[in-house]
């Protein structure tokens, strides 16, 4: 069964550093998403991406965040200057227009 692949599975970074989280969506999917989940809290929508541009973003997705699809397969989330409160699980997902979302297994980001 096709999978969404996320790397790395765990990243530790110092406050103020830039991080890039990587995702390989399912090959025939055209819609891409990032979500995050702070420990013990609910899954929060960050951003959706279609046709090489952001379709929708939440209030969490401020100027410190950016997304990119640098080639035909990868989809990345960049956090420019990490803060302690950015520590969370970050999930990438992809879908077709009317289909269900397939989520990756996540990247645990720890900011120290």
Partner 1 sequence: DAKTTQPNSMESNEEEPVHLPCNHSTISGTDYIHWYRQLPSQGPEYVIHGLTSNVNNRMASLAIAEDRKSSTLILHRATLRDAAVYYCILRDVENYGGSQGNLIFGKGTKLSVKP
Query: Interface with partner 1 by CB under 8 A: which residues?
Result: 31, 33, 35, 42-45, 48, 50, 55-56, 89, 91, 93, 97-106
CB of 65 to partner 1, least distance (A): 16
CB of 52 to partner 1, least distance (A): 14
Give 82 or 94: the residue with its C-beta nearer to partner 1.
Answer: 94
Give 14 or 40: the residue with its C-beta nearer to partner 1.
Answer: 40
Give 17 or 55: the residue with its C-beta nearer to partner 1.
Answer: 55
Q: In the 3-class helix/strand/coil scheme, how is the chain assigned residue by residue?
A: CCCCEEECCEEEECCCCCEEEEEECCCCCCEEEEEEECCCCCCEEEEEEECCEEEEECCCCCCCEEEECCCCCCEEEEECCCCHHHCEEEEEEEECCCCCCEECCCEEEEEC
């Amino acid at each position: 069964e096709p999978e969404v692949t996320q790397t790395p599975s765990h990243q530790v970074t110092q406050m103020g550093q830039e991080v890039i989280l990587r995702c390989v969506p399912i090959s025939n999917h055209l819609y891409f998403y990032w979500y995050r989940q702070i420990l013990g809290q609910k899954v929060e929508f960050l951003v959706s991406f279609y046709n090489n541009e952001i379709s929708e973003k939440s209030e969490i997705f401020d100027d410190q965040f950016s997304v990119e699809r640098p080639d035909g397969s990868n989809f990345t989330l960049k956090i420019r200057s990490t803060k302690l409160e950015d520590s969370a699980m970050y999930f990438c997902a992809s879908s077709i227009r009317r289909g269900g979302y397939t989520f990756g297994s996540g990247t645990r980001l720890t900011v120290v």
